[in-house]
Amino acid sequence: MADNYTLQTSKFIDDKLCFENGKEGFLTAISDGFFFLEQPKNIDLSPGDIFASNFYKDRGDDTRYDDYRGFKNFTSDKLAKNEGYYCRNQDQTEQFFLEKRFWDKVYPRNLVKLAKGLEQLSIDILHNILLNLKIPKNLWNKATGGCTHQEGMYHLTFNHFRPEQDSRGLNTHKDSGWVTILRSEEPGLEAYINNKWRPINPKRGYFIINFGCAFEILTTHLPNQVNAITHRVTQQFKQSEYQNDRFSYALFADSSLKKEVCMGLYEYKNDKLKLKMNFDEFLDQILENTYKKDTVGLY
């Protein structure tokens, strides 16, 4: 059974990421791998909320939301590898993945605006964490595969959990990249913090932020390592016909897949970057293991 756990709380004041408990809060947050961030007032989440609860539905049933429906036909064979609509029966989730280069072509206009706002927020978080870790600014672009300079790979991903599907909610895994900004209003997310599964219950008015493997690898040799914590979503059950299904969506900030921008994943040690592994191969492995029936998405 998962134990209750209180995450650190933060907000942006001007361009600075500030933790309620100061430096101790920051250190706890990077150790936990998760923290809460107050949602900026200039980001309108309603297009994302509407899309999350409609993307898998057919158009025509409710014309108010037709711009946000009918996206099952956008599959990887029409877009690109790992992009578009997916429905795997080993998980309760049906998902819609879309990287920045496709946003203007596929998403409704208001959703593109939200996606770009979340992209910038992920970069602002990344800048602040790197600054607090005292990693030199002249190394940021190379270390993050362009992610600090809007040259990375940014996915806005939607999840619809189908309670009628008798399977796990979402498999045990770590995120691959740097920063994940999660919008979730329902319980079900759990993280393996301090050797125990602990529920990460939503906090109204806040995003859930977590770190990925790229950050963990980069900071392996630092006295305060950023942890990519293992997490999952538990199986969802519908208690009554009036209960809405669980939805969530997230902005994932990763290194670029372009060789001229990203050579791979690095470790930072003695003021230098050391190439650790090929990012393409690493990403393929962790994604494959996340969505298989009998594996976990770890490295």
CATH number of residue 165's parent domain: 2.60.120.330
d(CA 298, CA 285): 9
pLDDT of 5 strictly over 90: no
Q: What are phi and psi of 104, to 5 degrees?
A: -65, -25
pLDDT reported for residue 270: 95
The 10s digit of each residue's pLDDT in 15-65 is 999 999 999 999 999 999 999 999 999 999 999 999 999 999 999 877 889
Q: What is the pTM of this model?
A: 0.96
Q: How far apart are CA 286 and CA 299, in angstroms?
A: 7
Range of the domain at 186: 9-291
pLDDT tops 60 at residue 1: no
Report the pLDDT value the prediction gives residue 63, as an integer from 0 to 100: 82
Establish if 92 belongs to a structural domain.
yes
Whether 231 contacts 210, CB under 8 Å: yes
Locate 180 and state its tokens: 């994940």
Decide: 173 and 230 in contact? Cβ < 8 Å. Answer: yes
Backbone φ and ψ for 191, nearest 5 degrees, come out as -130, 145
Q: What CA–CA distance (Å, rounded) separates 78 from 61?
A: 25
Give me the chain's average pLDDT, please: 96
For residues 75 and 294, give the distance between their C-alpha atoms in angstroms, rounded to a whole number. 24
Cβ-proximal residues to 65 (8 Å cutoff; 6+ apart), any chain = 50, 54, 57
3, part of any domain: no
* Assigned domain for 158 exists: yes
299 belongs to a structural domain: no
Query: What's the average model confidence in pLDDT over 118-122?
Result: 98
Tally the domains of the chain. 1
- What gap in Å lies between CA 107 and CA 94, rounded to an integer? 17
